[in-house]
Amino acid sequence: MTAVTTVGDPLPHLEHPDTIGRRWRAGVILIVLADVAFLLSLVFSYFYLRGLNTAGAWLPKGTQGAPIWPAWAIAAVLIASAAVYRSGQVAIHRGNVSRISTATAVALLLVVVGLVAQVVQLATLPFDLDESSYTSAVYVLGGANLFHLLLTLFVGVGMWNRSRLGLYSPTNAWQVRVVGIWWTWIAIAAVISAVPTSFIAAPGG
pLDDT digits (tens, 9 = 90+) for 167-198: 888 888 889 999 999 999 999 999 999 999 99
Whole-number Å distance between alpha carbons of 13 and 180: 25
pLDDT digits (tens, 9 = 90+) for 2-50: 454 444 444 455 677 777 888 989 999 999 999 999 999 999 999 999 9
Region 77-98: what's the mean pLDDT? 93
Position 147 in a domain: yes
Region 103-112: what's the mean pLDDT? 97
Band of pLDDT at residue 56, cut at 50, 70 and 90: confident
**3 or 162: which leads in pLDDT:** 162
End-to-end Cα distance, the chain? 92
Confidence (pLDDT) at 205: 60
Percentage of the chain lying above the pLDDT 90 cut: 70
Position 3 in a domain: no
Q: Residue 173 is part of which domain span?
A: 38-49+66-197
Position 11 in a domain: no
Position 157 in a domain: yes
Position 19 in a domain: no
**128 or 15: which leads in pLDDT:** 128
Confidence (pLDDT) at 12: 53
Confidence (pLDDT) at 5: 46
Q: Determine which of 5-19, 92-106, 113-127, 181-195 has the lowest per-residue pLDDT on average.
A: 5-19
Angle between helices 133-164 and 69-93 (to 10 degrees): 20
Position 33 in a domain: no
Position 163 in a domain: yes
- Quote the number of domains for the chain: 1
Position 22 in a domain: no
Mean pLDDT for all residues in the chain: 90
Residue 80: CATH number of its domain: 1.20.120.80
